[in-house]
Amino acid sequence: MGHNILEENGYPCYCGKRGCNEQVISGPALQRFYLEQSGESRNLKEILERYHQGSDPYAAATVDRLLEYFGRAVSTIINMLDPDAIVLGGGVGNIDLLYTEGFERAKKYVFNDRRLNTLFLKPKLGDSAGVFGAALMG
Ligand SMILES: [Zn+2]
């Protein structure tokens, strides 16, 4: 899913395309967006803290960008596969807002009359679940 195109004419990606999910809603992409908007470099944790404090418009814009594009990205999967659940892996999956506000944004974009029955779940193995999977296959 990381290399599905999400933003037309977006940032170039290491895979050779532009505007992939990785270049829009990954932690590094969100930090880059915040830096471009504010002129200040902050990590995602700090950006989220500033968003929750409600006093940083750049943090608000960055989190809104995450929620909006997350909603579009995940609704594409839901419209195609109608899964019972989606497990949100990677560092971004630790963001609690995705399970509430992100879920609401996805509702905007699902085809099924804005009814969304898919569960959004955290990986039981944390954000290293992919590494455990790779080790099991080795
Ligand atoms: Zn890519």
- Per-residue model confidence as pLDDT tens digits over 70-122: 999 999 999 999 999 999 887 788 899 999 999 999 999 998 777 899 999 98
Average pLDDT over residues 15-28: 95
User: What's the chain's average pLDDT?
Assistant: 91
CATH homologous superfamily of 21-137: ATPase, nucleotide binding domain (3.30.420.40)
Residue 14 Cα to ligand 1 midpoint, Å, equals 6
Average pLDDT over residues 8-16: 95
Query: From CA 88, how far away is CA 74, in angstroms rounded?
Result: 10
Whether 39 has a pLDDT exceeding 70, the answer reads yes
Which two three-digit tokens encode residue 34? 């915040």
Q: Is the full-model pTM beyond 0.75?
A: yes
Residue 54 Cα to ligand 1 midpoint, Å, equals 32
Which two three-digit tokens encode residue 106? 């996805």
